[in-house]
């Protein structure tokens, strides 16, 4: 997702449009089921985002029943922990994915790009691991992101609540001007230096295309007590060895 040229107001506008698209899907009684940044496309002008790839879109089912034994399909960093554990995909699972995408959109950093996307990462996600939130993200946006990726599905906002909250932020009904200005200053500073993406080495086993996954014995999802959690390659390798 190329967002380096976008500042706070433009990002809010884009998030409102994406949330509107997700709300339309949910209002139709459907779930997207493969919601991630690569499925957000833009108009030829680059200013109008819309949700694509509805091939896995299906009727919503809120019952917590097990999915098919052969596994689940998606992009690991964006997948809700309850779905990783084999429960039915719900609207709340889409909201979790939106939270991961929203943080990526604002921070301009791809989630978990320095580690393998494997069973050990799935364990850590269930144990509360989440991507770091960019330190200059306005608090109201940071709080919304955190709510979206809550380990308890019932604590996440609905698509309607997402859309309404982002619309209020866009219309400046909340005073976040000082935070937004600080955010803009930091993004502008990034434009004068080498882009972050060029400074980050993506792990060869960090996979951002949808694929079949089948994880066993994942722990019950919890929220981490640590506000910002980081993960390192040696931790992933150790967890992978422990589960082999």
Average pLDDT over residues 140-146: 93
Residue 1 falls within a domain, yes or no?
A: no
- Our CA angle for 2, 159, 15, nearest 5°, is 25
b/e string for 124-154 if b means 16 or more Cβ within 10 A?
Answer: bbbbbbbbebbebbbebbbebbbbbbbbebe
The predicted pLDDT at position 129 comes to 96
At residue 66, the 3 state secondary structure works out as: strand
66 versus 30: the higher-pLDDT residue is 30
Domain range for residue 183?
8-194+202-242
Q: What is the pLDDT of residues 26-43, one digit of tens each?
A: 999 999 999 999 999 987
Residue 3 falls within a domain, yes or no?
A: no
The predicted pLDDT at position 197 comes to 47
- Beta carbons of 101 and 78 less than 8 angstroms apart: yes
pLDDT at 158 over 60: yes
Total structural domains within the chain: 1
185 versus 94: the higher-pLDDT residue is 94
Average pLDDT over residues 193-216: 79
Q: How confident is the model at residue 194 (pLDDT cuts 50, 70, 90)?
A: very low
Q: Considering only 31-35, 88-92, 106-110, 182-186, which range has the smallest mean pLDDT?
A: 182-186
Distance of alpha carbon 203 from alpha carbon 104, whole angstroms:
17
Residue 230 falls within a domain, yes or no?
A: yes
pLDDT at 83 over 60: yes
**Percent of the chain at pLDDT exceeding 90:** 53
Residue 206 falls within a domain, yes or no?
A: yes
Q: Which helix (H) or strand (E) holds 90?
A: none
pLDDT at 243 over 60: no
The predicted pLDDT at position 65 comes to 47
pLDDT at 176 over 80: no
Distance of alpha carbon 19 from alpha carbon 21, whole angstroms:
5
Residue 132 falls within a domain, yes or no?
A: yes
Distance of alpha carbon 227 from alpha carbon 133, whole angstroms:
9
Q: Report the CATH number that the domain containing residue 143 is assigned in CATH.
A: 1.10.510.10
The predicted pLDDT at position 81 comes to 97
Bridge partners of residue 66, in order along the sequence: 87
The pTM assigned to this predicted structure is 0.83
Residue 61 falls within a domain, yes or no?
A: yes
CB atoms within 10 A of CB 44: 6
Residue 2 falls within a domain, yes or no?
A: no
The predicted pLDDT at position 53 comes to 83
The predicted pLDDT at position 51 comes to 92
HEC string of 144-185 equals: HHHHHCCCCHHHCCCHHHHHHHHHHHHCCCCCCHHHHHHHHH
32 versus 176: the higher-pLDDT residue is 32
pLDDT at 55 over 70: no
Distance of alpha carbon 185 from alpha carbon 166, whole angstroms:
21
Average pLDDT over residues 140-153: 95
**How far is the CA of 157 from the CAs of 34, 59, 165, 175, 206, in angstroms?**
19, 19, 10, 22, 29
């Amino acid at each position: 997702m190329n967002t380096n040229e976008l500042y706070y107001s433009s990002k809010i506008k884009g998030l409102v449009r994406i949330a509107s698209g997700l709300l339309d899907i949910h209002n139709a009684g459907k779930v997207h089921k493969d919601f991630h940044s690569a499925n957000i496309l833009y108009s030829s002008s680059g200013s109008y985002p819309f949700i694509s790839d509805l091939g896995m879109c299906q009727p919503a089912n809120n019952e917590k029943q097990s999915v098919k034994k052969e596994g689940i399909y998606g992009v690991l960093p964006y997948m809700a922990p309850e779905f990783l554990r084999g429960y039915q995909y719900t609207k709340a699972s889409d909201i979790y994915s939106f939270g991961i995408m929203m943080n990526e959109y604002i921070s301009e950093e791809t989630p978990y790009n320095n580690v393998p996307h494997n069973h050990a990462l799935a364990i850590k996600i269930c144990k509360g691991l989440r991507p770091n939130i960019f330190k200059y993200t306005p608090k109201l946006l940071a709080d919304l992101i955190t709510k979206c990726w809550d380990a308890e599905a019932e604590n996440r906002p609905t698509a309607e609540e997402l859309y309404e909250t982002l619309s209020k932020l866009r219309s400046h009904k909340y005073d976040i001007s000082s935070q937004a200005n600080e955010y803009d200053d930091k993004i502008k500073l990034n434009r004068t230096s080498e882009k972050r993406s060029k400074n980050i080495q993506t792990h060869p086993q960090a996979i951002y295309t949808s694929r079949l996954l089948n994880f066993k014995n994942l722990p019950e999802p919890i929220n981490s007590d640590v506000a910002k959690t980081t993960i390192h390659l040696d931790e992933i390798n150790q967890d992978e060895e422990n589960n082999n």
